[in-house]
Structure 1
Amino acid sequence: MDIYLPIADLPVNVFLVFAMGTAVGFISGMFGIGGGFLMTPLLIFIGVSPAVSVATVAAHITASSFSGALTYWRRRAIDLPLAFVLLIGGLTGTAIGVWLFGVLRALGQLDLFIALAYVVLLCSVGGLMVAESVRATLRAHRDRNKTVPARPPGGHTWVHGLPLKARFKQSRLYVSILPVLAIGGTMGFLGAVMGIGGGFILVPMLIYILHVPTNVVIGTSMVLTLVTMGGATIMHAATNHLVDALLALLLMVGGVIGAQFGAQAGQKMRSEWLRLLLGLLVLAVGLRFAVNLFVTPGEIFSFRVMEGGR
């Protein structure tokens, strides 16, 4: 059964879109990530324009991250001062990303930029995740009977020597706000331009760069994702008019259902295998984008109606 998407300006199969939402929700629940890095490419692959895909997935991530952020709020597992500083950088990065989005769209280079950004980001992150998970698996087999102490969250690196320090009591950190602003700005920019919540990047950055404790890192990252992606949705809707609410609704319904089953499946797998599967998935999507960029299409020429009837 097909349904017409008014903003995307094309008919799509309802069951296909629902299945996509369910599949991405399953993966999100299994790996504990937002899934925007996968949803945006899937929409592009079925014919939705990259611009509409990015803006609509931003709305989808906003809705899906709201319930998660609310849950962690009730558990008091959010460092609000840290989240506030992240949001200052995040909203700034989001505004810059939406501005660049509009500029590239006006120049006709937006599709190419999004594709290149996905190739670079996903291939890099996917390759690093696969390599790290393989090393962890081999190390686990080699040191099966040994106990390796975990690196304490209070350890110090060059980041902790930067000026303009602030104290974040719940995270037990005394660190410069400069890297916090930089991390927030980077994630806001990526969310606005690529339509990804960035949890699979943000959480490791908070843990390994700032040494935020794991008991507050997920809830704090969800607050950043919620506000930045919500801001990106509003900005895209107001300036670019690209948010397809009907498409976002179909994806949300499927995503909520799939996430429940994914969470149950993820609890039954070892963490090393989960990271390996996620890395392979991220790498596969990046390679698919690379193939689309460099392989000559079957139809070299195409016709497209320009905005304003020109």
Structure 2
Amino acid sequence: MQIYLPIAEVSVNAFLLLGLGGFVGILSGMFGVGGGFLMTPLLFFIGIPPAVAVATEANQIVASSFSGVLAHLRRKSVDLKMGCVLLVGGLVGAGLGVLLFNYLKSLGQVDLLVRLCYVVFLGVVGALMFVESLNAIRRSKRPATGPVRRTRDRGWVSKLPFKTRFRVSGLYISVIPPIMVGLVVGVLAAIMGVGGGFIMVPAMIYLLGMPTKVVVGTSLFQIIFVTAFTTLLHATTNFTVDVVLAVLLLVGGVIGAQIGTQIGARMKAEQLRILLAGMVLLVCGKLALDLLIQPAELYSIAAPGGH
């Protein structure tokens, strides 16, 4: 069943979009990731223009993150003060990211920028996850040698000024690193259409020293507002948010997440991580090939300004 997407200006099979939403929803349920960093490249592959894919996926992340953060609020595993500090940087970063996005769109280079960002980030993140997963599998096969004590040393982070106390996280640190982390994630949300959790979560654990139990909920709290702000800016300045596309992806994603949660409960954490790393590297490889291989049609009838 073909359906016309008014903003993307293409006709796509509705069941294909539901299937993509379901597939990424399954991954979200299995691995605990938002899935934006995989969904957006998959939309490229089926012919959705990158500018529309980025803005629409940011819209979908708002709904999925809101659902997730409600569960974490019930468990009291959200550091609202830390979330608000991250949000300050995130909103500034989103604004800067949309300005850069608009400037490159006016030059006709935005599609190339989005694809290059995905190749770089997916390649780096996928490779690091793959290596870490292999090491975890090797460690799990070794006999236990007793508990290993780890000291949490944040080095230069603990020496910065403007310190404040984050009681839920049990931290007394400067507000500068959280603002910078939020800034980077805000820029990524605007340019790549992702929540940024795959960068924010490791940064919150290893850079800020936050306890793992409050990291995911706090990250989702910040992502809701940053992606909502990003969607609003894209919708009002670029007119690139396709509501029909977002609804179809969201319906598939909600159903897929329930299935993925059940599958994930039956697999080991190490197996899940290495499987996700493999998928990330496959998507990265396909994007890189599309950039390197000469296209079948060398010319486009679209004007650089989108008119």
Q: Is TM more than 0.5 here?
A: yes
Q: Aligned equivalents of 2:204 and 2:187: distance in 1?
A: 17
Structure 1: runs of 5+ lacking an equivalent = none
Following TM superposition, by how much is the alpha carbon of 1:99 offset from its aligned partner in structure 2, in angstroms?
0.8
* One-letter code aligned to 2:179: L
- SS in structure 1 of the partner of residue 3 of structure 2: strand
- Residue 308 of structure 1 deviates from its aligned partner by 7.2
Q: Is the 8 A contact 2:106 2:305 kept in 1?
A: no
Partner of 1:106: 106
C-alpha distance in structure 1 between counterparts of 2:209 and 2:81, whole Å: 16
Q: Which residue of 2 aligns with 1:13?
A: 13
Which residue in the other structure is 1:131 paired with?
Answer: 131
Would you say 1:286 and 2:280 are equivalent positions?
Answer: no
> Does the CA-based 8 Å contact 2:97-2:187 persist in structure 1?
yes
- Check conservation: 2:106, 2:304, Cα contact below 8 A: no
Secondary structure of residue in 1 paired with 2:103: helix
- Report what 1:151 is aligned to: 150
Report the Cα distance in structure 1 between the residues aligned to 2:306 and 2:95, rounded to whole angstroms. 26
2:24 aligns with: 24
- Measure, in 2, the Cα distance between the counterparts of 1:16 and 1:308: 27
Count the aligned residue pairs: 307
- The within-5 A match list for 1:268-279 is 268-279=266-277
State the one-letter code of the partner of 2:145.
Answer: K
Counterpart CA distance in 1 for 2:107 and 2:193 is 20
1:67-125 Cα shifts (integer Å, max 9, x gaps): 11111112211101100100000000000011111001001110110111111111011
The structural deviation recorded for 1:305 is 5.5
Aligned match of 1:215: 213
Structure 1 position 265, deviation (Å):
1.0
CA distance in 2, matches of 1:303, 1:103: 21
Shift of 1:307: 5.8
Q: For the residues of structure 2 that align with 1:140 and 1:189, how far apart are their CA atoms?
A: 37
* In structure 1, distance between residues paired with 2:181 and 2:255: 31
Partners in 1 of 2:265 and 2:52 — Cα distance?
Answer: 34
> Offset of 1:61 from its aligned partner?
0.5
Opposite residue 271 of structure 1, the aligned amino acid is A
Instruction: Kindly indicate whether the alpha-carbon contact (under 8 Å) linking 2:107 and 2:305 is maintained by their aligned counterparts in 1.
Output: no
Map residues 72-91 of structure 1 onto 2, 5 A cutoff.
Answer: 72-91=72-91
Deviations 1:197-254 (A, max 9, x none): 1212211111111111111111000011111001101111111111000100000000
Q: TM-score, normalised by structure 1?
A: 0.95
Q: 1:145 to 1:108 in 2, by over 3 A?
A: same
Counterpart of 1:266? 264
State the identity %.
50
Contact 2:105 2:305 in 1 (8 A): no
Deviations 1:9-35 (A, max 9, x none): 111100000000000000011000100
Counterpart residue number, 2:44: 44
Using the TM superposition, give the Cα deviation of residue 140 of structure 1 relative to its aligned residue in structure 2, in angstroms.
2.1
| SS of residue paired to 2:4 | strand
* Partner of residue 161, structure 1: 159
Give the distance between the partners of 2:156 and 2:270, measured in 1 at CA. Answer: 29
Matches within 5 A, 1:184-203: 184-203=182-201
Could you tell me which residue of structure 2 aligns to residue 2 of structure 1?
A: 2
SS in 1 for 2:164: strand
- What secondary structure, in the 3-state scheme, does the structure 2 residue paired with 1:219 have? helix
Change (3 A) 1:3 1:302: same
Partner of 2:170: 172
The CA distance in 1 between the partners of 2:149 and 2:12, in whole Å, is 49
The amino acid of 1:147's aligned partner reads: G
> For residue 244 of structure 2, what is the aligned residue in structure 1?
246
Give 5+ residue unaligned stretches, structure 2: none
Q: Tell me how far 1:151 sits from its aligned partner.
A: 3.1
- Do the aligned partners of 2:27 and 2:260 also contact (CA within 8 Å) in 1? yes
Following TM superposition, by how much is the alpha carbon of 1:161 offset from its aligned partner in structure 2, in angstroms?
1.9
1:145-169 deviations in Å (ceiling 9; x for gaps) = 22343636x5433322222211101
Report the TM-score when normalising by structure 2: 0.96
